[in-house]
Amino acid sequence: MKTLTINPTTVARKWWIFDAKDRVMGRLAGEVARLLMGKHKKTYSPSHDQGDFVIVINADQAALTGNKRNDLRYFSHSMYPGGWRELTVAEAQANRPGYPLRHAILGMLPNNSLGKAMAKKLHIYGNDRHPHAAQRPEPVKLS
């Protein structure tokens, strides 16, 4: 049996669109990460980027279970004295609507240059409008 190697220029990439309204953020992030990595394809290989393009709309209306909207916190430090910053999910969504969902999705991708290439195919919008109508994205039905 021959080993199948994929040429990155010949990978057929599709466009998918998710509606995050009233969907649990972690479960949605797992499905989006699976499409970005290309795990849904028969020719999946962990060392090649074969994933599809993904659009997520209504990212600011994604649901969180429990009290995570106020308890879950994002930390950063500017590397200067007193540069410690802390945001709750509610504060982060008020500033940038797609940040909590993007943070969850990127945490499920590989942490290397391959993961960065996969992350470039992710487009997140806080409302239901997006500029990718020409690509004719297929809607994904989540159960």
Report yes or no on 75 lying in a domain: no
Report how far residue 69's alpha carbon sits from residue 60's, in angstroms, rounded to the nearest whole number.
Answer: 12
CATH of the domain at 107: 3.90.1180.10
Task: Measure CA 60 to chain center.
Answer: 13
Report yes or no on 131 lying in a domain: yes
Report yes or no on 128 lying in a domain: yes
pLDDT value of position 143: 66
Report yes or no on 77 lying in a domain: no
pLDDT value of position 51: 94
Count of Cβ atoms closer than 10 Å to residue 135 Cβ: 15
Q: Please list, in sequence order, all residues whose beta carbon lies within 8 angstroms of the beta carbon of residue 29, skipping any fewer than 6 positions away.
A: 101, 104, 105, 107, 108
Name the nearest CA neighbour of 19 among 75, 61, 80, 79: 61
What total of structural domains would you count in the chain? 1
Range of the domain at 127: 14-62+95-139
Whether 128 shows a pLDDT value over 80: the answer reads yes
pLDDT value of position 1: 74
pLDDT value of position 43: 86
Q: How far apart are the first and last CA of the chain?
A: 37
pLDDT tens digits for 61-77?
A: 999 999 999 999 999 99
pLDDT value of position 81: 97
pLDDT tens digits for 91-110?
A: 999 999 899 999 999 999 99
Report yes or no on 115 lying in a domain: yes
Report yes or no on 70 lying in a domain: no
